[in-house]
Chains A and B, each alone.
Chain A
Amino acid sequence: MKSGHEAAEITASGIGKAYGDFHALRDISLTIGSGEFLTLLGPSGSGKSTFLMILAGFETPTSGTLRKNGADITGVPAEKRAFGMVFQGYALFPHMTVEQNIAFPLQVQGRADADIKRSVNTIIDRVGLRGHEKKRPSGLSGGQQQRVALARALVFEPSVLLLDEPFSALDKNLRSSMQEEVRRLHQETGTTFVFVTHDQSEALALSTRIGIFNHGQLQQIGTPKDVYERPANRFVAEFLGDVNFLSLSGVKATADGAEGLFEGHPMRISAPGQFVSEHFAIRPEHMVMFEQAPAEGNMLKAEIGDITYLGAETRFGLKTPGGIDLVLQMPTREVKSAFQPGRQVWAGWPANQGFFL
């Protein structure tokens, strides 16, 4: 069921935040579409949390403007913005029961008791907290506390929900089930979600778009597939996952990409509309391992070094005759028994895989 959330579009233009000489954020411009699930991704200290605090109204930017559905809200304090927010560590009220925690934002708004009761009951069912209404946060598990924080942030049907590294304290299994939960809540409510994390797999799994931050600057913003497969720079490429760098010689632009040589192997890369250079990059799982040279596509010869078993996937360290170390990752079920350390193999990939940096 879609509820009464009215999703909002947020536009940041030229947002900057300086503390003395230190620039926590520089010139951030982006639009968060209504109903979007935007993830702000970056290492700690990259400015992503500062940007979230500015969106929430807890921090004021030193430059730039912030608009909500076109109206300037740069100077509007947090208490007047009434965006929902889920904090790292949940920030639940420890002296209140689950019910009281969730009812608090509604009481602040001065809603009628019957109305509050109805809204609280609905959201308790929605986040699966039935039976825990009378408990204090200290009597709940991490995942349950997380649900209370989500319920409390969503119960007043905010137009924007901000989430600041909400899953950082949860173990891996709970994390993925909470990710599912958040994704479902996003679909059900249709609210604009802005999610901060430093976990790239979480970002890729959840978002409609990802904005990647580093050193206070927005490095790239795009769909998970865009930023993963067509990263704008080396930082984005490496932050989102492992990547192999191949230096090509004799690079020539072609109609739909480029041609060049890597250790004597011809490479034809199809990358329409992309910038072309001698720095070619390809992700470990985009390469396929062959015992014999494949009939088509790009390929290079290498010797297997160490092998790491990761469960569903297996990772191979490869060394080219030129001494370049590469990583190749493939599904474990496709690993052939011949793939043993010291063995000469071929690594190949189709022309449309990989990118230039």
Chain B
Amino acid sequence: MKSDRLKPALLLGPLVLFLGLAYLVPFLGVMQWSVTLPETGFSQYGKAVSDPLIQSVFLRTFRICLIVTLCAVAAAYAIAYVWVRGTPAQRLVTELCILIPFWISVLTRAFGWVALLSNRGLINTWLQAAGIISEPLTMVRNEFGVVLGMMHFLIPFAVFPIASAMRSLDERVFLAARGMGASRLRIFWSIFVPMTLPGILGAGLMVFVFALGFFITPAILGGGRSVMIAELIYLRLFQSPDWGLGAAISVILMLIVGALLVLMLRLVRPNKMLG
């Protein structure tokens, strides 16, 4: 009886300890900065919500995250569909396409996109050589590059909850709809998509929460022109003396993420999120 409770505690212990030391304690420190630097009080929070520059970065972050979420979930839905319902060969290829990006560092991938998209990158060189364009297309150091890079990173994360929702469907439901004379298109839109909606919502929220905290990808592909909230926090903390302001923004971001996570747990049961 006693060991029954002790065992899980022992197994979970190291993780709790690690999270406590590596995340909770430092974050409490950040919270302390936010109300003590440069002076005690909530003045930095006031600044964070009223400063037009910070507001615009928050707005841009939400806009980019929303676009990334919509595009990534749509792409992930198509990928998951082939992965779950394709022929064995299609499934294998899809599985490799989902897994291989996981083995490549986020930094390598960001620079890879720069090599592809920059003015003298592969795509522009080819298009110019083929005579399709005369001037190079601007595809990095702007929002387009940021969105593309983030999407690329986040699609696999969206695939898992969606594929899991698709796998749990009862095939007979589609047979039933077919037997009633429903066309493939109708079955897809009126039966298949609504039945996978929990997976879509779960994937969407997860991608959005991940996207909010993105740092490396927007920093590299945005080239300092498309600053997102994580990069702004970095600049406040490491390249200016505004530690209190940076900390306050961090806490605000953390609260938003926390609220979204609560929403996610209410909408989708956590065990449904796992592939």
Contact = CB atoms under 8 A, between A and B. Distances in A.
Interface of A: 56-58, 77-85, 87-89, 91-95, 104-105, 108-109, 152, 156
B179 interface: yes
B182 A108 contact: yes
Contacts of A82: 179-181
Interface string B171-185: 011011111111100
A58 B172 CA distance: 11
| Chain B interface SS verdict (over half) | helix
22 contacts: A56-B179, A58-B178, A79-B182, A80-B181, A82-B180, A82-B181, A84-B179, A85-B175, A89-B170, A91-B175, A91-B176, A92-B173, A93-B177, A93-B191, A93-B195, A95-B194, A95-B195, A104-B190, A105-B182, A108-B177, A108-B186, A109-B181
The winner among B170, B173, B180 for most chain A CB atoms within 10 A is B180
Given A80-B181, A108-B186, A109-B181, A94 B195 contact: yes
B183 A79 contact: yes
A78 B179 contact: yes
B240 to A, nearest CB: 51
Nearest to B198: A95
Given A95-B194, A95-B195, A78 B173 contact: no
B181 A91 contact: no
Given A95-B194, A95-B195, A79 B173 contact: no
Contacts of A94: 173, 195
Contact of A91 (B172, B183, B190): B172
Nearest to A94: B195
Contacts of B186: 108
Contacts of B182: 79, 104-105, 108
B252 interface: no
A91 B182 CA distance: 15
Contacts of A95: 194-195, 197
A77 B191 CA distance: 19
B170 A91 contact: yes
A57 B179 CA distance: 8
Residue from A83, A84, A94, A156 with most neighbouring chain B CB atoms (10 Å): A94
Nearest to B184: A79
Q: Is the interface of A mostly helix, strand, loop or mixed?
A: loop
Given A93-B191, A94-B195, A78 B178 contact: yes
The 3 closest A-B pairs by CB, nearest first: A105-B180, A91-B172, A91-B176
Interface residues of B, number: 18
B180 A108 contact: yes
Contacts of B177: 93, 104, 108
A207 B187 CA distance: 34
Given A93-B191, A94-B195, A108-B186, A83 B172 contact: no
A94 to B, nearest CB: 7
Contacts of B191: 93
A91 to B, nearest CB: 4
Contacts of B172: 87-89, 91
Interface in B149-182: 170, 172-173, 175-182
A132 B120 CA distance: 66
Contacts of A83: 179
Contacts of A58: 175, 178-179
Contact of B173 (A56, A88, A91, A105): A91
Nearest to A149: B176
Nearest to B172: A91
A88 B175 CA distance: 12
Given A78-B178, A78-B179, A95-B195, 15 more contacts: A57-B179, A78-B175, A79-B179, A79-B181, A82-B179, A85-B175, A89-B172, A91-B176, A95-B194, A95-B197, A104-B190, A105-B180, A108-B186, A109-B181, A152-B180
Contacts of A109: 181
Interface in B181-236: 181-183, 186, 190-191, 194-195, 197
Nearest to A87: B172
A350 B108 CA distance: 91
A142 B191 CA distance: 21
